[in-house]
Amino acid sequence: MSQYQDLKQACYEANMQLPALGLVLFTFGNASVVDRDRSVFAIKPSGVPYVTLKPEDIVIVDFDNNIVEGTKRPSSDTKTHALLFKEWTEIGGIVHTHSTYATAWAQAQLDIPILGTTHADPLTVDVPCAPPMGDELIQGDYEHQTGWQIINEFQQRGLSPSEVEMILVGNHAPFAWGKTVEKAVYNSAVLEEIARMAYLSTTLRAEVPRLKDALIKKHYERKHGATSYYGQ
């Protein structure tokens, strides 16, 4: 049995949640799980349909993109995952999808504005959209540069990946992450729902008022604040 069996199983289960939640079509997505003690992560193999995916198909990769274990090629987005894991040591899992509404906002190159309390539950800011990548970078190490595209946008905006666990990549699609891969999957689903609600809201009314600061603070802090009281 593989020494990475538990890591592969966790990665497999996270990936299988993506079609179950309606976040991926065919092979349009991937989830990864890090093992920081061993400096490796597990990721979905490239182009393998979810209907045929098995735990043993999952590929183990190190932070320098070397295959440690696996018979298949890892996701084409592996270099993006590797860089985020390497630079953001507080995250434990990453999910990348092309979910419909979040991707529509990314294609429009727009932040998702904070319009309602559903958005304020996980975030106190708009969902950021990184600008499209320059041609020179696209023609270079594209997937690696996608990681820097995300990291640089967070640095420029003064955002923390521990507080804002999602982003849109302009002209591309969403990424989400979390302390665990389960949280990354959750954040990916929440991002798609926020994107859908914001799209519907702005379709109904062109100039939708931003959510009041008092409501942003209340809804975020009742879940995440020092005196949070949501849940058991």
Helix, strand, coil % over all residues of the chain, rounded to 5 = 40, 15, 40
Please report the DSSP string for 72-140 in residue order. S-B-TTHHHHHHHHHH-TT--EEEEE--HHHHHHHHTT--B---SHHHHTT-SSPBPEEPPPPHHHHTS
Tokens at 47, concatenated: 């182009």
Tokens at 19, concatenated: 């079609």
* Residue 101 annotated to the active site: no
Tokens at 164, concatenated: 């804002």
* Residue 64 annotated to the active site: no
Quick check: 184 and 90 in contact, CB under 8 A? Answer: no
Residue 165 carries which side chain, given as an amino acid letter? E
Q: What's the residue count for the chain? A: 232
C-alpha closest to that of 106 among 55, 22, 40, 166: 166
Quick check: 147 and 79 in contact, CB under 8 A? Answer: yes
Neighbours of 201 (CB within 10 A): 13
Neighbours of 232 (CB within 10 A): 2
Candidate list 6, 141, 213, 230, residue with the active-site label: 230
Candidate list 35, 57, 62, 121, residue with the active-site label: 121
Quick check: 29 and 96 in contact, CB under 8 A? Answer: yes
User: Which residues are marked as active site?
Assistant: 121, 230
